[in-house]
Chains A and B, each alone.
Chain A
Amino acid sequence: MCSFSKFCGKKLIAMNPTEETQSQHSSQTTIIMRCFSYLRPHWKFVAGVYSSMLLIDLIAMVNPQLIRWTIDQGIAKGDNSLLAMAVGALLVLVTIKGVLTYFEGIWTETASQSVAFDLRNALQRKITELSFSFHDKAEAGDLLSRAIQDVERIRFLTGRAIFRIIESVVLMTLTAGMMIWMNPRLGLLAMVSMPLLIFRSITFGRVYRPLSLQIQKQLSVLTTRVEQNLRGMRVVKTFAQEESEIQRFNVQNQQWYDLSAQSARMQANNMPLLNLIANVSSVIILLYGGTLVINQQLTLGELVAFTTYVAQIVTPVRYLGMVLPMITVAGVAGERIFEILDTAPLVRDEPGAPDLTLEGGEVAFEKVSFAYGKQAGVLKDISFVAQPNQVIALLGTTGSGKTSVVNLIPRFYDPTAGRITIDGTDIRAVSLNSLRGQIGMVLQETTLFAASIRENISFGKPDATQAEIESAARDAQAHEFIMQMPDGYDTKVGERGRTLSGGQKQRLAIARALLTDPRILILDDATSSVDSETEHLIQVALERVMRGRTTFVIAHRLSTVHAADLILVLDKGRIVARGRHEELLKSSPLYGSIYQQQLKK
């Protein structure tokens, strides 16, 4: 969708512009520091890592000296026992180094994997806690890529990356010191290339980073493209839009290629160039050092050791060149992660909110108004009382606010004005968990998990027995068709229950709600895809099980609503009529016309 694509590209979710986002734009350093703070609980590993690193670097310092000594003292003087000793020492040192490397690696990995683990847990927790208004806006793909890829970048930062950086600096300092100690002039000469290498790395990073961010963004555009296309495949096929979908994809694909080709060109130059600088500088050392050896101012062993040091000092510089740009990338990743972690749910418990204790289950709306975000009001001045044991039906044109009314009861959203009470207690004063625990809800859009039918029904009560599950399924008129499935209750339903017909999905959702044995039941268009006969059977069963409970029903078929104790007719967010069926027939022209329309033409 050419014109659609401009939305796919946006990087940060435009989260609820009102209260939810609290993330103030923190500076890059603050974010990076915050990333590192996740290492704190694992400080023992970190301490182990850096101690090992110091030891390893010291060994790296000693090795060339050992070789130098071997050449100058052992070989040149023909002392074979000295030679054997030196070689033995070399092997011992390398063994120690190997063992240390192992632990250093494992500890780095453990610490950084633990950071990733903690971050992912925190994100998942936050995501399941954030209220509906957040999820209305957030894109699933975007949330996922934050929890997977961005966390992966932080893991890299807190693991290998920072380790490399510190190691590089330590190694460079030690090597430089060593070289200057051995031969100040040669040492300084060896260092001449350093500023060049560092400068080169930094300028490269500066140019490369924005490009790589752009590529990342384009990749996610491409991903969204494919994902939207697949999810809407039925629509694409229905409208025979395959060709234009391919065209749209190709445009984005080509854009990705252009960016990648640009980056390939830059990268193809970078590493070889750094190597060239390093190599040429070692030639210069060899030239100058060789002259010194010729003039007897330096031993051959020293020269060999020197070239080893030069090789050693160049590696960290190259690492820095590679790793430094990644810090910035990790900074962006951190920003994206903390943006979510810092979002406070719009709907949340008051501190120390008590649990809700239900007596009758009377639900009252008192002058409730409501709007989604900053948009115009959706509900205005809604007041009604649902007595315990009553069935309340909501009726009204599409978009009149029926769903919005029932979404307020379990506090999926909070009203903008007025209050809702259950048995006289304001629902905002009790804990969310206890409130929702008393409410059984069948949402308008059936969401099933791709698991077995049994797992789906027992979702709200994981420890339910087979007998309980079956009885809920029977009440929802689902038992029969479940038993006809190849594996009965163990039949897996496809992604989003795709292999079930619409009415079958709805009946599973009803069974799921009934199983939790709720005091308040909300059925939001729960039987819209169920035929009237089956629906009637469900109603009969409900009448039995819902005795002593309060039920809210949204439906369009009058047969569903006309037996209700109270029918609320909504129009444009207001209650325009209320009463029982017979009363409304007389008092409400709107209700009357709905009735007429359904009864006969």
Chain B
Amino acid sequence: MGFSIGVSGPGMGPRNAMETFAEGGDTRGQVYNPRVVSRMLVYLRPYLNLMALAFLAMLVESSLTLLAPYLLKVTVDTYITQGDQAGLIRISMWTASTFLGLYLATRTEQYLLSMVGQRMLANIRRDLFRHLQNLSLGYHDTHIVGVTVSRVMNDVATINDLLSSGIITLIGDMLVLVGIIVVMLFMNLKLALLAFTVLPLMLLVTVWFSRRARVAFRETRTSVAKVVGGLAEDIAGVRVIQAFGQENTTQENFSAVNQVNRNANINAMSLSFIFLPAIEFMGILATAIVLYFGGRAVSSGEVTLGVLVAFLSYVTRFFQPVQELSRMFTTLQSAMAGGEQVVKLLDTVPEVLDQPEAIDLPQVKGGIRFENVSFRYRPELPDVLRNVSLEIKPGQTVALVGPTGAGKTSIGNLIARFYDASSGAVLIDGLDVRSVKQRQLHRQIGLVPQDSFLFSGTIADNIRFGRPEATDDEVETAAKLANAHEFIIAKPDGYRTRIQEGASNLSVGQRQLVCIARAILTDPRILILDEATSNVDSLTESLIQDALRKLLEGRTAVVIAHRLSTIRSADLICVVDNGQIVEQGRHEELLAQGGVYAALYQRQFA
């Protein structure tokens, strides 16, 4: 049963999002989805010859499986009852070699299947990961990290069951079934038909079971996802939980979810425990029928004892694949569900795409122009920017100020083309950002985002992130410019200090300094600082500013900040309010205007 690895850091898998997950994991109705299968078969194509070989091995395996009881019949009828000692030895040798052949065939088949299966898993994961890199931030905004991780890890794993072993086992079991039916019919028509009278009954039971099982197993999937989600949320929010003394409430909540999961599991298993004995009972019923009627036939001389013994053995073997198949049924279902999710993810089209004719972006000078730009994050949400026009000349430092939620960050996001404007155009050096290759654009822009995310690893690794080949000296220079050097060397391991989960071993301001160093190291043509120093004290901040001023000589900078001391000296100050630029100009001009900016200024220095 696929419990999902909700492996993820803070903030993964919260409650309502888990409900979405649950919907996503829904398998409603579909046991077989041709689109999923055909998409996945593409991954099989490179290994068709291996699969053919596996299929061959499977054929050998099936026929040898069928042969064994027949040999038993011959042994009993022809040799033991006839008292033929030499024949007995001969036939035993034959039987033994049959088993040896069976061993070799099974071994080959299983080996090939799992090799191909694992190879495919690795390939699907590779493609998924590549695809995720191309999806735009709009996708990542609305999808929970833990769920996406579980797509790449868990759902892909379930496909393996479907593709490699699933299909082959399915075909193999079917073949064995048909084979047994044929052999039994040939050996003795009457007995065979009698034995098959239990089949309709069995079919009925199987249908009943699979219908219930689908619902029950789906419930276990959803409920375990909620357990993972609940716990992940508790871990992510543990500091808040403790600060507000809500340990007991969360414990009760979790226990409730946990309880539901326990019951769902017991419930699902109880179905299996009705089903499996029921199938076994049918098997024995068939055995009993064969034994009774066969027994009478033996005593009346109609059939030989050997036939009866072989028949009994075939009946037993008949029910093995049947059980196997019904067990497969649930696996198949979850594989199909997993496959659907994976295909859905693979087919998600990035909202922000390179156009086919996208051109290489030359070294930019840094002019930025917004022409009547309107923007919303998702079609159903209200506009965040309305008709924004803005002209930034190469080399200028532009400050964006205004109330929170006004749309400042969104302007930065559009420059870097993390999202596309709903209308209007964003131009860099006169080129529409939609007409150039995204990655080349990103490479020339250094953005320090509001939330200072650091990867696990050392401080040096993090600073080097945008330019992995940078030397230690360069890293240190960048850190010095960002005023991070001093605190870094004060740490016991200096630049080799490991970043702990959630970067908890750095103060929030220190994290921001590391992020700034990371951006500086890539030597960007355009630098966007989105509240990059909001948690840094103003003395340190002014040191950084001085350093940046030298560094950014002739480069364009867009600065978002609330501390007016940060922005006073900008070449251009834009006041953003409610999705529009309501005032722009230099500090003195705006003060003289006596508008919003002047009021903000008064507020801070009153």
Interface string of B154-194 (1 = CB under 8 A from A): 00000000000000000000000000000000000000000
Say yes or no for A90: interface residue by CB 8 A criterion. Answer: yes
Say yes or no for A376: interface residue by CB 8 A criterion. Answer: yes
In the complex, what distance in Å separates the CA atom of A280 from the CA atom of B539?
84
Residues of B within 8 A of A437 (CB): 245
Q: B133 touching A598 by the CB < 8 A rule?
A: no
B12-20, B203-211, B385-393: which lies at the interface: B12-20
**Which B residues, 78 to 97, have Cβ-Cβ distances below 8 Å to chain A?**
79-81, 83-85, 88-89, 92, 95-96
Say yes or no for A421: interface residue by CB 8 A criterion. Answer: no
Contact of A135 among B103, B238, B287, B447 (CB under 8 A): B238
Query: What is the distance, in angstroms, from B521's C-beta to the closest C-beta of chain A?
Result: 10
Say yes or no for A54: interface residue by CB 8 A criterion. Answer: no
Q: B3 touching A124 by the CB < 8 A rule?
A: no
In the complex, what distance in Å separates the CA atom of A230 from the CA atom of B468?
19
In the complex, what distance in Å separates the CA atom of A386 from the CA atom of B30?
66
**Which A residues, 241 to 258, have Cβ-Cβ distances below 8 Å to chain B?**
241-242, 244-246, 249-250, 253-254, 256-257
Say yes or no for A450: interface residue by CB 8 A criterion. Answer: yes
Say yes or no for B228: interface residue by CB 8 A criterion. Answer: yes
Contact of A3 among B245, B258, B461 (CB under 8 A): B461
Interface string of B249-262 (1 = CB under 8 A from A): 11100110011011
Query: What is the distance, in angstroms, from A267's C-beta to the closest C-beta of chain B?
Result: 7
Residue of B nearest to A238 (CB): B447
A17-25, A192-200, A522-530: which lies at the interface: A522-530
Q: A227 touching B259 by the CB < 8 A rule?
A: no
Known interface pairs A245-B133, A304-B309, A531-B562; A91-B291 also in contact (CB < 8 Å): no
19 contacts between A and B (CB under 8 A): A87-B291, A99-B277, A117-B262, A136-B505, A140-B235, A253-B129, A257-B122, A303-B80, A399-B510, A460-B244, A499-B377, A500-B405, A501-B405, A504-B404, A516-B244, A531-B401, A556-B563, A558-B604, A601-B565
Residues of A within 8 A of B418 (CB): 234, 237
Residues of A within 8 A of B358 (CB): none
Query: What is the distance, in angstroms, from A216's C-beta to the closest C-beta of chain B?
Result: 11
Q: B3 touching A4 by the CB < 8 A rule?
A: no
**Which B residues, 124 to 171, have Cβ-Cβ distances below 8 Å to chain A?**
125-126, 129-130, 132-134, 137, 140-142, 144-146, 148-149, 152-153
Interface string of A350-380 (1 = CB under 8 A from B): 0000000000000000000000100110000
Say yes or no for A143: interface residue by CB 8 A criterion. Answer: yes
Q: A286 touching B603 by the CB < 8 A rule?
A: no
Residues of A within 8 A of B111 (CB): 264-265, 268-269
Say yes or no for A171: interface residue by CB 8 A criterion. Answer: no
Residue of B nearest to A117 (CB): B262
Known interface pairs A1-B461, A140-B236, A501-B405; A450-B14 also in contact (CB < 8 Å): yes
In the complex, what distance in Å separates the CA atom of A106 from the CA atom of B263?
11
Residue of B nearest to A245 (CB): B133
Say yes or no for A336: interface residue by CB 8 A criterion. Answer: no
Q: B137 touching A106 by the CB < 8 A rule?
A: no
Residues of A within 8 A of B291 (CB): 67, 70, 83, 86-87, 90
Q: B539 touching A593 by the CB < 8 A rule?
A: yes
Q: B228 touching A127 by the CB < 8 A rule?
A: no
Interface string of B4-36 (1 = CB under 8 A from A): 111111111011110000000000000000000
Contact of A398 among B287, B455, B540, B606 (CB under 8 A): B540
Question: For chains A and B in complex, what number of residue pairs have CB atoms within 8 angstroms?
Answer: 545
Known interface pairs A1-B457, A223-B149, A233-B140; A397-B92 also in contact (CB < 8 Å): no
In the complex, what distance in Å separates the CA atom of A321 from the CA atom of B544?
65
Say yes or no for A451: interface residue by CB 8 A criterion. Answer: yes
**Which B residues, 249 to 284, have Cβ-Cβ distances below 8 Å to chain A?**
249-251, 254-255, 258-259, 261-262, 265-266, 269-270, 272-274, 276-278, 280-281, 284
Contact of B439 among A110, A141, A240, A533 (CB under 8 A): A240
Interface centre among B121, B249, B259, B442 (most CB of A within 10 A): B442
**Which A residues, 108 to 151, have Cβ-Cβ distances below 8 Å to chain B?**
109-110, 113-114, 116-117, 120-121, 124-125, 127-132, 135-145, 147-149
Known interface pairs A3-B458, A148-B227, A238-B445; A525-B600 also in contact (CB < 8 Å): no
**Which B residues, 51 to 81, have Cβ-Cβ distances below 8 Å to chain A?**
68, 72, 75-76, 79-81
Closest 8 CB pairs of A and B: A503-B404, A450-B14, A398-B509, A239-B466, A4-B457, A105-B273, A78-B299, A264-B114
B39-47, B329-337, B528-536, B550-558: which lies at the interface: B528-536
In the complex, what distance in Å separates the CA atom of A534 from the CA atom of B542?
24
Question: SS class of chain A's interface: helix, strand, loop or mixed?
Answer: helix
A31-39, A161-169, A175-183, A290-298: which lies at the interface: A290-298
Contact of A286 among B95, B455, B461 (CB under 8 A): B95
Q: A230 touching B148 by the CB < 8 A rule?
A: yes
Residues of A within 8 A of B467 (CB): 239
Known interface pairs A233-B140, A242-B133, A533-B600; A501-B409 also in contact (CB < 8 Å): yes
A206-214, A490-498, A580-588: which lies at the interface: A490-498
**Which A residues, 510 to 526, have Cβ-Cβ distances below 8 Å to chain B?**
512, 516, 525
In the complex, what distance in Å separates the CA atom of A410 from the CA atom of B457?
31
Residues of A within 8 A of B118 (CB): 257, 260-261, 264
**Which A residues, 290 to 316, have Cβ-Cβ distances below 8 Å to chain B?**
290-291, 293-294, 300, 303-304
Say yes or no for B232: interface residue by CB 8 A criterion. Answer: yes
Q: B243 touching A268 by the CB < 8 A rule?
A: no
Q: A447 touching B296 by the CB < 8 A rule?
A: no
Q: B281 touching A94 by the CB < 8 A rule?
A: yes
Known interface pairs A1-B455, A144-B6; A530-B107 also in contact (CB < 8 Å): no
Contact of A228 among B231, B300, B455 (CB under 8 A): B455
Q: B442 touching A121 by the CB < 8 A rule?
A: no
With A450-B15, A598-B563 given, can you name 14 additional A-B contacts, CB distance below 8 Å?
A: A105-B270, A110-B266, A121-B251, A132-B239, A144-B231, A227-B8, A237-B442, A239-B467, A239-B522, A241-B468, A261-B118, A265-B111, A403-B507, A486-B381
In the complex, what distance in Å separates the CA atom of A593 from the CA atom of B81?
111
B341-349, B365-373, B422-430, B496-504: which lies at the interface: B496-504
Residue of A nearest to B139 (CB): A233
Contact of A98 among B10, B261, B281 (CB under 8 A): B281
Known interface pairs A264-B114, A294-B80; A147-B231 also in contact (CB < 8 Å): yes
Residues of A within 8 A of B236 (CB): 140, 447, 496
Query: What is the distance, in angstroms, from A406's C-beta to the closest C-beta of chain B?
Result: 11
In the complex, what distance in Å separates the CA atom of A137 from the CA atom of B500?
6
Q: A459 touching B244 by the CB < 8 A rule?
A: yes
Q: B284 touching A117 by the CB < 8 A rule?
A: no
Contact of B466 among A129, A241, A495 (CB under 8 A): A241
Q: A601 touching B568 by the CB < 8 A rule?
A: yes
Say yes or no for A441: interface residue by CB 8 A criterion. Answer: yes
Residue of A nearest to B410 (CB): A501
Q: A290 touching B88 by the CB < 8 A rule?
A: yes
A271-279, A323-331, A544-552: which lies at the interface: A271-279
